[in-house]
Amino acid sequence: MEASEVQSVFARARRAQAQWALSPVHRRREIMLRLHDLILENQVELIDLVQAETGKSRSSAFDEVIDVALTARHYAYRAGHLLRTKRVRGALPVLTHTTVQRSPRGVVGIIAPWNYPLSMALSDAIPALLAGNAVVLKPDEKTTGTAVRGLELLEEAGLPGEVMQVVPGPGSTVGQEIVAQCDYLMFTGSTATGRKLAAQAGERLIGYSAELGGKNPLIVCADADIDKAAHGAVQACFSNTGQLCISIERIYVHEAVADRFLSRFLALVNDFRLGHGWTDDVGSLISAEHLARVNELVEDAILHGARVLAGGRPLPDLGRTFYAPTVLIDVPPTARLHTEEVFGPVVYVEKVATVDEAVAKANDSSYGLSASVWGRELTARDVASRLEAGAVNINDGFGAAWASLDAPMGGWKDSGQGRRHADEGLLKYTESRTIAAQRLMPLNGPSLISRERYTSLLSTALRLGKRVLR
């Protein structure tokens, strides 16, 4: 698509949004509940499509089906409450009647990556649409088909035409036109692009939220159940072939249990079945270019002294984008993948002497998206509270926090800005309008009382109010 075509998409979206914003919230809710059912009914076709575009395993593709269904259901039931006009405490008790309304922002631009093409096409659009916005979505060029099919299902569920539109094309033209036109921008992708778009959104003074890269740590405490920790860790490192912003790329394991953990972890990795069937654990990477980058980072680490305990190479016999699940140790800080996100099936493991050392190492990163801690819950909670990350999973790799849709999800530091999920994941797509009606007496006092007397009365009222109104 050309940039000029995106402009006419926005013009049509604005017309459609004006009507959509007038529709009652219960009607929008019914559409999202129908979408929930349609996604589940059409799951086999959707999984086929996601697999054809990304090469991921079937069970990783099914995660997307579940994510969209859960999101549709969660926000369908939450939207009515969130969008209702709320009475809040006014400036002067009784005399100031204050309410807060929520209005849609207009046309929300969503720019999505390729790694979760169904989730990323629909799960951010659902709350934006429920809030009364139109949506213009640009999927990654490699995964346009899934986004288009997702939109078809939304329309089959009852979404009026042109309330949501998909604009395929490159970021540099189509993506940039979205940034120039939209009233709110939701971006998921790399930190480099996210930073650039943040500056542009800032220049336009539009709202912006972004989920970006991560270099997520997993800590195994001395009191962890080692078998469960090893199983959880392989899931956390290799789901979606590691092409997951919240997947684990660094493991810090207490020296008291390190040998046991490592041998169990490696046994599980060596047992992996690679392929595209239901029984396969790990699929292929998105593209040959991505494979080359993953391999380059691993070779750089080896060159700097890292040791390979598993994998460490492409698997051309299986297909041109298969890469062996890779476990490294002795990765020095000079190796690029010590700090850079790989976004592939590669993890390094380090022994630590204390929990404090594990926490310090986990936090020693410019990223702060997700983390995982394995241990007795009491110990693990204490460790979790010290981590600089938007989400910390205890005795789970990443899914527990992600699927807790009532809790915010997003990144500290270079991992993002704003949040998805939770109430703020819908409210960010609204503008608030405060309406305060002053009754009986103006805020600066009745005309019959002198200013001096009024300030003295007001000061007494403030002192009393501090005790009474909490």
- Residues forming the active site: 211, 245
- Least distance (Å) from ligand NAD to the CB of residue 409? 8
Angle at 44 between CA 39 and CA 45, to 5 degrees: 80
- Least distance (Å) from ligand NAD to the CB of residue 327? 20
Asked if 217 is part of the footprint of ligand NAD (rule: CB under 6 A), the reply reads no
Find, among 109, 74, 102, the residue nearest to 188 by Cα: 109
Instruction: Report the residue from 109, 175, 217, 242 that binds ligand NAD according to the rule CB under 6 A.
Output: 175
* Residue for token pair 């949040």: 419
Asked if 417 is part of the footprint of ligand NAD (rule: CB under 6 A), the reply reads no
C-beta of 171 vs 275, nearer to ligand NAD: 171
Find, among 174, 454, 218, the residue nearest to 347 by Cα: 218
In angstroms, rounded to a whole number, what is the distance separating the alpha carbons of residues 109 and 255? 48
Instruction: Report the residue from 69, 212, 234, 352 that binds ligand NAD according to the rule CB under 6 A.
Output: 212
- Least distance (Å) from ligand NAD to the CB of residue 288? 15
C-beta of 188 vs 430, nearer to ligand NAD: 188
From the CB of residue 459, how many other CB atoms can be counted at a distance below 10 Å? 10
C-beta of 108 vs 369, nearer to ligand NAD: 369
Q: β-pairing, 367-368 with 412-413?
A: antiparallel
Instruction: Report the residue from 60, 71, 176, 240 that binds ligand NAD according to the rule CB under 6 A.
Output: 176
Q: How many amino acids of this chain bind ligand NAD (CB under 6 A)?
A: 26
- Least distance (Å) from ligand NAD to the CB of residue 39? 19
In angstroms, rounded to a whole number, what is the distance separating the alpha carbons of residues 134 and 10? 9
In angstroms, rounded to a whole number, what is the distance separating the alpha carbons of residues 178 and 64? 25
| 358 contacts 374 by C-beta, under 8 angstroms | no
Q: Which segment (71-79, 154-162, 175-183, 428-436) binds ligand NAD by CB under 6 A?
A: 175-183
| 345 contacts 282 by C-beta, under 8 angstroms | yes
Asked if 249 is part of the footprint of ligand NAD (rule: CB under 6 A), the reply reads no
Sign of the Cα torsion 221, 225, 230, 231 reads: negative
Distances (CA, A) of 216 to 15, 199, 283, 339, 453: 43, 25, 21, 10, 61
Asked if 216 is part of the footprint of ligand NAD (rule: CB under 6 A), the reply reads no
C-beta of 174 vs 268, nearer to ligand NAD: 174
User: For 248, left (φ over 0), alpha (ψ -120 to 50), or beta?
Assistant: beta
C-beta of 214 vs 217, nearer to ligand NAD: 214
C-beta of 211 vs 396, nearer to ligand NAD: 211
Instruction: Report the residue from 193, 235, 284, 430 that binds ligand NAD according to the rule CB under 6 A.
Output: 193
Asked if 295 is part of the footprint of ligand NAD (rule: CB under 6 A), the reply reads no
- The one-letter amino acid code at 449 reads I
For the chain, the straight-line distance linking the first and the last C-alpha, in angstroms and rounded, comes to: 56
Asked if 370 is part of the footprint of ligand NAD (rule: CB under 6 A), the reply reads no
- Least distance (Å) from ligand NAD to the CB of residue 189? 3
H-only helix segments in 205-225: none
- Least distance (Å) from ligand NAD to the CB of residue 52? 18
Determine whether 161 is exposed, middle or buried from the number of CB atoms within 10 Å of its CB (0-12, 13-18, 19+). exposed
Q: Which segment (72-80, 123-131, 169-177, 400-408) binds ligand NAD by CB under 6 A?
A: 169-177
- Least distance (Å) from ligand NAD to the CB of residue 237? 14
Binding marks (x or -) toward ligand NAD, 342..361, rule CB under 6 A? -x------------------
- Least distance (Å) from ligand NAD to the CB of residue 242? 10
C-beta of 171 vs 408, nearer to ligand NAD: 171
Q: Residue 178 has which token pair?
A: 């979205």
C-beta of 170 vs 316, nearer to ligand NAD: 170
* 393: three-class secondary structure by DSSP: strand
Angle at 49 between CA 162 and CA 407, to 5 degrees: 70
- Least distance (Å) from ligand NAD to the CB of residue 284? 16
Of residues 60-119, those binding ligand NAD (CB under 6 A) = 111-115
Q: β-pairing, 346-352 with 248-254?
A: parallel
C-beta of 28 vs 421, nearer to ligand NAD: 421
Instruction: Report the residue from 47, 226, 245, 253 that binds ligand NAD according to the rule CB under 6 A.
Output: 245
Q: Which segment (49-57, 76-84, 209-217, 269-277) binds ligand NAD by CB under 6 A?
A: 209-217
Asked if 188 is part of the footprint of ligand NAD (rule: CB under 6 A), the reply reads yes
| 43 contacts 59 by C-beta, under 8 angstroms | no
In angstroms, rounded to a whole number, what is the distance separating the alpha carbons of residues 305 and 332? 7
Angle at 429 between CA 424 and CA 434, to 5 degrees: 85
Site residues, ligand NAD (CB under 6 A): 111-115, 138, 140, 170-172, 175-176, 179, 188-190, 193, 196, 211-214, 245, 341, 343, 369
